[in-house]
């Protein structure tokens, strides 16, 4: 009997992901990670998402065009913003993503993270993360709007009323704060950030080979452990 059949090697490899739904690199990183998992021939992989806010000080409930935010807060010239978006859209298309940056908004994302935690409790965490990314970067929806967030939850079969109640009450605050505290403990200052089996990290929207290597090394670690 080998470790590949029993013991720790038979358990799913865990990938803890810190991301924010207004981060275009997080959307791309998520898609490329999924490609790597699909290519991974050894056992299963469990992806666990954790809250991170790129702009925690952004006014709650407000929404402005993302390009305007970049131009004003980061003082980026319009040509630089357009070039960056075009390059990222090209990379995204290769991963099956349809970026429409001209329609996206900058918002405070804490309420979106509440909806992710709500979905997690129902076993639909990744589906919710992906739907929020698509809403942000393809559909041009305002993720600061509670009605929009409740509609997205309902799309996945979650209770719309429960979603609105969670948003109104500020639910999952402790869970969000715990995610943020863990990010600080790891020294995470930017996202996406991926931690494989609590041992090795990949930062940024890396090529699929980087994620495959992290998965392969995690598997080798598991296989080397005694059953």
**pLDDT single digits (tens) 212-223:** 999 999 999 988
Please check whether residue 1 lies inside any domain of the structure: no
Query: Which tokens hold the place of 198?
Result: 């609590």
**Nearest CA to 110 among 39, 65, 175?**
175
Please check whether residue 197 lies inside any domain of the structure: yes
Instruction: Give the model's pLDDT for residue 134.
Output: 98
Please check whether residue 20 lies inside any domain of the structure: yes
Instruction: Give the model's pLDDT for residue 9.
Output: 57
Check: pTM over 0.85? Answer yes or no: yes
Instruction: Pinpoint the alpha helices (H) of 61-192.
Output: 66-73, 78-94, 110-121, 125-137, 146-155, 160-169, 173-186
137 vs 98: CA distance, rounded Å? 7
Helix (H) or strand (E) run with residue 193 in it: strand 193-196
Q: Residue 130's CB: how many other CB atoms inside 10 A?
A: 15
Low-confidence ranges of the chain (pLDDT < 70): 1-10, 227
**Nearest CA to 66 among 151, 137, 152, 160?**
137
Q: What range does the domain containing 206 cover?
A: 7-224
Instruction: Give the model's pLDDT for residue 178.
Output: 98
Instruction: Give the model's pLDDT for residue 5.
Output: 41
Q: What CATH number corresponds to the domain at position 180?
A: 3.40.30.10
Please check whether residue 162 lies inside any domain of the structure: yes
91-125: burial string, b at 16+ Cβ within 10 Å, e else: bbeebebebebeebbbbbbbbbbbbbbbbbeeebb
CA distances for 146 relative to 26, 87, 116, 141, angstroms: 22, 32, 13, 11
Longest dimension (CA), the chain: 62
Helix (H) or strand (E) run with residue 3 in it: none
Instruction: Give the model's pLDDT for residue 226.
Output: 73
Please check whether residue 103 lies inside any domain of the structure: yes
Please check whether residue 2 lies inside any domain of the structure: no
**Which is it for the CA torsion 139, 143, 145, 148, positive or negative?**
positive
90 vs 97: CA distance, rounded Å? 9
By the 10 Å C-beta count (0-12 exposed, 13-18 middle, 19+ buried), 79 is classed as exposed
Q: What proportions of the chain, in percent to the nearest 5, are helix, strand and coil?
A: 55, 10, 35
Overall number of domains in the chain: 1
192 vs 100: CA distance, rounded Å? 20
Contact predicate 126/49, CB 8 Å: yes
């Amino acid at each position: 009997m080998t470790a590949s059949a029993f013991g720790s090697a038979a358990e799913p490899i865990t990938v803890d992901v810190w991301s924010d739904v207004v981060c275009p690199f997080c959307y791309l990183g998520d898609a490329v990670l999924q490609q790597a998992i699909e290519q991974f021939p050894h056992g299963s992989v469990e992806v666990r998402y954790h809250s991170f806010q790129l702009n925690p000080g952004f006014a709650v409930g407000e929404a402005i065009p993302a390009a305007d935010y970049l131009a004003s807060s980061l003082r980026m010239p319009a040509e630089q913003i357009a070039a960056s978006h075009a390059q990222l859209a090209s990379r995204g298309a290769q991963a099956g993503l349809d970026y429409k940056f001209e329609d996206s908004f900058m918002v405070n994302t804490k309420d979106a993270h509440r909806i992710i935690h709500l979905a997690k409790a129902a076993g639909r965490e990744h589906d919710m993360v992906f739907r929020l990314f698509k809403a942000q970067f393809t559909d041009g929806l305002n993720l600061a709007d509670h009605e929009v967030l409740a509609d997205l939850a309902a799309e996945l079969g979650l209770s719309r009323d429960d979603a609105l109640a969670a948003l109104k009450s500020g639910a999952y605050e402790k869970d969000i704060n715990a995610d943020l505290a863990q990010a600080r403990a790891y020294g995470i200052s930017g996202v996406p950030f991926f931690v494989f089996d609590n041992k090795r990290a990949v930062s940024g929207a890396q090529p699929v080979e980087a994620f495959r290597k992290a998965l392969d090394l995690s598997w080798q670690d598991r296989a080397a452990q005694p059953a």
